[in-house]
Amino acid sequence: MSEKDMMEQEEIFSKVLRAGRRTYFFDVRATRAGDYYLTITESKKFTNDDGSFHYKKHKIYLYKEDFASFKENVEEMIEFIINEKGEEVISERHQSDYKKEEDSLDSQNKKNEDSKSTESFTDLNFEDI
């Protein structure tokens, strides 16, 4: 049996998640003993200077004995992120009006300085002169 046939035979179930320049592949595969495990592959597209492109791939192999702990940790991390930052996506790639935190702080500091400089003046009516 060829290597390609072996690869096709061991893939049991697959799903694809496209997310911008990244694509995630979730594949259920079979061990030699006939048990199942999960592979998660991240594939990211990069464009070369000449216009051609290539992909970088990272793969995680997840076996049944680690499913519960893995799921628990992922759920905990997701919950932490949602609780800390909410579900809204905050990035310059996804929001046209996005401002970096440092830009936002600079803008706020400038506003504070402007208000301080006007606070030091006293209103004067010409009738008082």
- DSSP string over 60-111: EEEEGGGHHHHHHHHHHHHHHHHHHH-SS---TTT-TT---HHHHHHHHHHH
Side-by-side strand order, sheet with 36-47 = 11-19, 22-30, 36-47, 53-63
pTM of the complete model:
0.61
Both structure tokens of 53: 């492109």
Report, as an integer, the average pLDDT of 57-83.
Answer: 97
Mean pLDDT, the chain, rounded, equals 80
Q: For 75-127, what is each residue's pLDDT tens digit?
A: 999 999 999 999 988 876 655 666 666 665 666 666 666 555 555 555 555 55
Alpha-carbon span 36 to 20, nearest angstrom: 29
Report, as an integer, the average pLDDT of 61-77.
Answer: 97
Domains of the chain, start order: 3-117 (3.10.450.700)
